[in-house]
Amino acid sequence: MNIKIIAVGKIKEQYLKDAIKEYEKRLSPFCSLSIVEVQPEQIIDESLIIKYKNIEAERILPLIKHNSFVITLEINGKMFSSEDFAYKLKQISNDGINDIIFIIGGANGLDDEICKISNLKLSFSKMTFTHQMIRLLLIEQIYRAFKIMNNEPYHR
């Protein structure tokens, strides 16, 4: 399985970079993982948020292969338990889909064009997290899902 995480913005804190690298290493036996960072638009004028999100969408869209299963992280998305998330990933794979793309928006959120092409809107919580924190949470949950799918100890 090929998993791509497209994230608006860069990770700044070293402790988060280190944790993400650790989970990338742990995931290597289970999948091919790539993380693509997209340049965020600087918020200069709050009235131009829609324009900023559109510019970010123009950077994201070319990174999406047409046959991929797209999962956007959205506050109003569906919430899963770790076990249900693992089952969903397995179901996607069983449906013959080999490429899964997760998209994490930046401070502006995601443009409607990105949300429209999403096959699944995923929420980790009704709370708002920084894009840096959610990237770590996402990669940890992907790792946990593979451990669950393979009946390996970790998730307890």
Q: Let me know if residue 140 belongs to a domain.
A: yes
User: Could you tell me which of 94, 114, 98 has the C-alpha nearest to residue 106?
Assistant: 114
pLDDT, residue 148, reads 95
pLDDT, residue 155, reads 60
Q: Let me know if residue 46 belongs to a domain.
A: yes
Task: Determine the Cα–Cα distance for residues 135 and 124; give it in Å rounded to an integer.
Answer: 11
Which residue segment(s) compose the domain that 84 sits in? 2-149
Q: What are phi and psi of 100, to 5 degrees?
A: -120, 130
Q: In what order do the strands lie in the sheet with 99-104?
A: 32-38, 2-8, 99-104, 69-78, 120-122
Q: Consecutive sets of 10 residues in the chain, 156 residues long: mean pLDDT of each?
A: 96 96 97 96 85 95 95 96 97 96 93 96 92 95 96 77
Q: Let me know if residue 155 belongs to a domain.
A: no
pLDDT, residue 156, reads 57
